[in-house]
């Protein structure tokens, strides 16, 4: 029997829209910890436990859980976003003591790392769960009275509250009111970056990708202008907004414009491996395998420490019918990312197709040893393959 390719395992955890990963009722702390005990190699189990710790103000435990999640799944955007919010959530009292005991650099380093995590979350997946970001903003306002300094703050706070509840329609309405206010100037030009950024993210959650692209185009232009002025600056670099713009064009089906914009981002940052990943996905959707493979290899060159990218290359080779090359690359992926169940699973399938029974057996046994329980369908399939092996 020719094994199927198991397409459900070809995508990264973070590549699945976050809303599709969430159960209708959040698990309790006990349920999350029980799942974690049973599924210690599942990044989603660590993330869910981390969220329970986050809600309980158990910051050290939350930090450990989220870091374990990204160690197991380096493309897990939600976990990066959660990690980015912990330093600020710890509060002023915590950092005053740390600074007194260890010096000011401890806070500076934590904030720099938080910014890197925040940036990476949105580069990995612009549809990352922004409800968590909004909940963190709400926590800050509950810690003290809100002082209205700027006219837009009250509307922005209302929008944040709606996002925290997952009510993106009402959030969009509040943010659009701010854009139409005469004090915002033409096209929201006097609104701060954070307000425009949130409106673009909300539009993306609503699948209004053209509207999101328009906001990210505004931010790209404004960030470029700010970079030309001493003391200008913006939360992200121009190229980060440009990448978000490319992604919205991609989601809108404007593949030519998206490819051009992704390539433009690489002119400014050759190490932006996420652009190579997205370029590969566009070519895969068109069955342009040679170009997709080149993009997958470029992603690895830009980020050689991430073994999951090697798994992705192996999957693309397998889908293109290059089974011999796919088997070799997937063997390398298993060595580089020994806890990635996709690598072991796909290597087993390629070995089975090529009548390499010993390799298939070892790979499938490896998969069974590390596969999380949510891979139940693939586990059942692999057991059937093992039973049929000579």
Q: In the structure, what pLDDT confidence band is assigned to residue 19 with cuts at 50, 70 and 90?
A: very low
What distance in Å separates the CA atoms of residue 186 and residue 182, rounded to the nearest whole number? 8
pLDDT digits (tens, 9 = 90+) for 266-283: 999 999 999 999 999 999
What distance in Å separates the CA atoms of residue 341 and residue 176, rounded to the nearest whole number? 44
pLDDT digits (tens, 9 = 90+) for 88-145: 899 889 999 999 999 999 999 999 999 999 999 999 998 999 998 887 776 655 444 4
Whether 126 contacts 244, CB under 8 Å: yes
What distance in Å separates the CA atoms of residue 52 and residue 48, rounded to the nearest whole number? 6
- All structural domains of the chain, each given as residue ranges with its CATH number in brackets, are 1-139 (1.25.40.10)
- Cα separations in angstroms, 383 against 154, 360, 380, 389: 57, 12, 5, 10
Strand runs (DSSP E) across the chain, as ranges?
none
Lowest mean pLDDT among 3-17, 312-326, 339-353: 3-17
Q: In the structure, what pLDDT confidence band is assigned to residue 26 with cuts at 50, 70 and 90?
A: low
Q: Is-above-0.85 flag for pTM?
A: yes
Contacts of 169 (CB under 8 A, 6+ apart): 206
pLDDT given for residue 147 in this prediction: 53
- Cα separations in angstroms, 280 against 276, 298, 316: 6, 10, 9
Q: In the structure, what pLDDT confidence band is assigned to residue 50 with cuts at 50, 70 and 90?
A: very high
Q: What Rg, from alpha-carbon coordinates, does the chain have?
A: 22
pLDDT digits (tens, 9 = 90+) for 54-98: 989 999 999 999 999 999 999 999 999 999 999 989 988 999 999
Mean pLDDT of 352-379: 95
What distance in Å separates the CA atoms of residue 101 and residue 111, rounded to the nearest whole number? 17
Consecutive H or E run containing 92: helix 92-102
pLDDT given for residue 21 in this prediction: 43
Strand runs (DSSP E) across 152-283, as ranges?
none
160-194 per-residue burial string, b: 16 or more CB within 10 A, e: under 16: bbbbbeeebeebbebbbebbeeeebeeebebbbbe
Whether 226 contacts 237, CB under 8 Å: no
Torsion angle (degrees, nearest 10) of CA 333, 334, 340, 345: 100
pLDDT digits (tens, 9 = 90+) for 250-262: 999 999 999 999 9
pLDDT digits (tens, 9 = 90+) for 204-232: 999 999 999 999 999 999 998 887 765 55
What distance in Å separates the CA atoms of residue 260 and residue 280, rounded to the nearest whole number? 13
The tokens of 209 are what? 């990708």
């Amino acid at each position: 029997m020719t094994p199927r390719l198991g397409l459900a395992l070809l995508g990264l955890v973070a590549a699945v829209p976050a809303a599709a990963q969430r159960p209708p009722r959040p698990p309790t702390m006990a349920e999350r910890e029980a799942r974690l005990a049973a599924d210690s190699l599942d990044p989603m189990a660590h993330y869910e436990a981390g969220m329970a710790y986050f809600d309980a103000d158990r910051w050290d435990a939350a930090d450990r859980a989220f870091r374990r999640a990204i160690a197991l799944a380096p493309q897990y955007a939600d976990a990066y976003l959660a990690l980015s919010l912990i330093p600020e959530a710890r509060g002023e009292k915590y950092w005053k003591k740390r600074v007194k005991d260890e010096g000011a650099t401890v806070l500076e380093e934590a904030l720099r790392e938080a910014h890197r995590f925040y940036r990476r979350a949105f580069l990995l997946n612009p549809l990352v769960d922004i409800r968590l970001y909004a909940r963190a903003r709400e926590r800050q306002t509950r810690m003290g009275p809100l002082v209205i300094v700027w006219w837009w703050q009250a509307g922005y706070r209302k929008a944040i509250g709606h996002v925290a509840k997952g009510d993106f329609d009402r959030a969009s309405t509040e943010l659009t009111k701010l854009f139409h206010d005469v004090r915002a100037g033409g096209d929201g030009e006097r609104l701060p970056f954070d307000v425009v950024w949130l409106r673009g993210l909300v539009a993306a959650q609503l699948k209004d990708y053209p509207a999101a692209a328009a906001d990210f185009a505004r931010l790209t232009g404004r960030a470029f202008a700010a970079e030309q002025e001493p003391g200008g600056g913006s939360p992200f670099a121009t190229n980060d907004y440009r990448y978000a713009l490319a992604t919205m064009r991609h989601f809108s089906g404007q593949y030519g414009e998206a490819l051009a914009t992704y390539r433009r981002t690489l002119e400014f940052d050759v190490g932006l491996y996420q652009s190579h990943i997205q370029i590969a996905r566009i070519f895969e959707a068109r069955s342009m395998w040679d170009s997709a493979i080149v993009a997958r290899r470029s992603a690895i060159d830009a980020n050689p420490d991430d073994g999951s990218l090697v798994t992705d290359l192996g999957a693309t080779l397998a889908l293109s019918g290059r089974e011999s090359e796919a088997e070799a690359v997937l063997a390398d992926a298993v060595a580089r990312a020994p806890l990635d169940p996709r690598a072991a699973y796909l290597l087993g399938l390629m070995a089975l197709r090529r009548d390499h029974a010993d390799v298939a057996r070892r790979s499938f046994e490896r998969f069974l040893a590390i596969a999380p329980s949510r891979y139940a369908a693939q586990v059942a399939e692999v057991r059937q393959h093992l039973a049929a092996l000579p």
